[in-house]
Structures are given as structure tokens and as C-alpha cells.
Amino acid sequence: MTYRYLGNLGTLTVVLLLSVFGTPGMFNPVAAQPGPATTFSFLRIEPSARAASLGGAFSAIYGDDINALFYNPALLNEEMHRALSLSYLNHLGGVNAGFIAHGRHLDGLGTIGAGIRFVGWGDMTGYDEAGEETADFGASSAALTLSFSRSDDPRLRYGANIHAAFSRIESYGATAIAADAGLAYHLPESQLTLSASVNNIGVVASSIGSVRDELPVDVRIGFAKRLQYVPVMVSITGYNLNRIGEEPAGGNAIGDAMRHIALGGEFQFTDAFQLRVGYNHRRHQDLKMKSRLDLAGFGAGFGIGISRIRFDYAFNSWSSLGGLHQFTVRTVI
């Protein structure tokens, strides 16, 4: 099946769509996503402003942020009881995404959570194989998530997610069922969390086109620690560890290792105000367009808390292409 995506969203949206839907032989996958591009690559998009500002280094963030369930279901805990998060991502080229997450703690059983992820790729003008313009069409992707976590030990938690993922382009669709499994070891006295998870393992029920789609399977480990003498939390996530050894040719050992690491820092001045920075080396290497001072792969943002409402903002640079703005509102209902 061959598509030609042209029209009012511009070339960037064309490349973004091809990176997700993986049309062979037309473009190499856009490099901001690790692993091969598939219809379900949208599952890798950062689901909250806080996670985005930390460069995706979110796999060991333990606390009351319900968005942690998208990274490791074992991070669900009683602090997330009745937590609600709403996020909006203004992507480049008119692409928009929204995220919802909610949690409940059940005494004696564990903590449950639910999430929705949606990406709207906008309207596009279609062209047939002869280059003649056809009708406009749309494309979208969505995933529904159910989560569960519990602890039989004061420090060790375990959990699982199940996802139903859907993608549509014009009249064609793809569906998949995926699951995550994770562990989290939390030491509150040291303000330290270690985590490990396997994400997006499952079955593709139907694909777009003749090439069978794949799920973006991801093996992750995480480390987060609030420093003792300064109000800073440091977060490190190793991701896509199942694809070590598949780095582009011509690199060095340090650069290849860094392509699997996301780094983040949160300056926790008060409960009401935080500043955040993050860096993802893979995104930097794959998106940079300048020889010097290219901020691709860098993220920054802040969090503000007023009463029971928290507002988070993130900006992530995509080099000369522009930047991504993301907003999250969190509360307790």
C-alpha cells in the first residue's frame, strides 16, 4: 500500500506520519523515536509536561504523579488515590495530543489506574499514484490503559498495565493489545527509588498496509534520588535496552551508550514551585541541524502548586524545526 502525504500540514507532518506508520521505501524513520518506526510508535510520546521537561527520565519517579503509570505500573501507590491528570501537547505541523490519567487506592488490595492517550494528526490532502489530488483524509491514534499495582513489602512494589491501542489513517486501521510489567524498590528514608520494567509486549491484531506492524517493545531501568543537602531530585532512565547493539554505524562506545539514557533534574524549591531540566542524547543526535549550540534533545519546564491543583509546563527543542509545548493540570477529585 502506498500513500503520498502532501498538503496543508507541510513536509514535517509528512515525515512525522511516516515515522509512525512506517511506510517502507519512502523515508527513513524520523529519528526522535527509538527503535523501528511502526504504527504504534505513538506509545512512546511523553504523556505529561513533567515527564517531557525531564527528557523522559521518568521511570523511577515515586510520589503522587499519576502519569508514572505510563512508565512503570509498579510506581502506582496510595499517594495517587483519587489523582487526576489532564495533559495537552502542541506538536509541530499541527499535530496535537492529549492524555488523561486517574488513580484509586483500594485498601487491602492495591492501587488501580486508568489512562487514555490520543494523537490527532490533522487533515491531509491525498494523492493517488499518478500524482492526482484526491479527497482530504484524517489520521489519529489512541490507547486505553488499565493499571494495577500492589506491595507485599514496605519497600518493594510490583505492577502491570494492559493497553488497547488503535490507529487510523483514511479508511484503514490497526489494533493491538499490549502489556507492561514492572518492579519498583522505594527507600523513603533515603528518598531513593530503583525500578525496572518491560513495556509494550503484546500482539498486533491488524496492521495498516501489507507490512505487519510491530509494537515498540522497551526494556527500561530507572534511578531517582533526592539529594541530601540541596533541594534537587536527580532522575536517570535507561530505555530501549533490548536494542543495545543496534546503534547507527560510526559512533563510539560512550555515544552509543548515551543513546539509551535519559537524564533529568528537578529543583524542588518548595511544594508550590519546581524547576526542571532534561536531556535525551538520542533525540539530540537524531534531530540536531546545527553544528554548534543546537538544543535539540533538551527539555525545560516548571511546576506550580496552588491548593489541590498543580500546573506543569514543558518545552522541548526540535532544533531549527521549532519546539514542543506541553501543559498538564493535576488535581485530586
Alpha-carbon Rg for the chain, nearest whole angstrom, is: 20
Which H helix or E strand runs over 277?
strand 273-280
pLDDT for 149 equals 98
pLDDT for 28 equals 33
Amino acid at 2: T
Number of domains making up the chain: 1
Q: What phi and psi, each to the nearest 5 degrees, are found at residue 27?
A: -140, 150
DSSP 130-152: TS-EEEEEEEEEEEEEEEEEE-S
pLDDT for 35 equals 59
Pairing of strands 261-270, 273-280: antiparallel
Q: CB–CB of 255/231 below 8 Å?
A: no
pLDDT for 4 equals 43
- Which residues are within 8 A (CB) of 127 and not within 5 positions of it... i.e. 6 or more apart? 4, 6, 133, 134
Spell out the long-range contacts of 127-133 with Cβ–Cβ below 8 A and sequence spacing 24 or more. 127/4, 127/6, 128/4, 129/2, 129/4, 131/4
Q: What phi and psi, each to the nearest 5 degrees, are found at residue 44?
A: -90, -10
pLDDT for 163 equals 98
Q: How many alpha carbons fall within 13 Å on the CB side of residue 324?
A: 28
CA distance 205 to 323: 34
pLDDT for 10 equals 34
Which residue segment(s) compose the domain that 229 sits in? 4-332
The neighbour count for residue 114, using CB atoms within 10 Å, is 15
Q: What is the pTM of this model?
A: 0.86
**CATH code of the domain in which 174 resides:** 2.40.160.40
CA distance 8 to 136: 10
pLDDT digit string (tens) for the chain, length 333 residues: 334 443 333 333 334 444 433 333 333 334 455 656 678 999 999 999 999 999 999 999 999 999 999 999 999 999 999 999 999 999 887 789 999 999 999 999 999 999 999 999 877 777 777 777 777 788 899 999 999 999 989 899 999 999 999 998 887 899 999 999 999 999 999 999 999 999 999 999 998 877 788 999 999 999 999 999 999 999 999 999 999 988 888 889 999 999 999 999 999 999 899 999 999 999 998 888 866 778 899 999 999 999 899 999 999 998 888 899 999 999 999
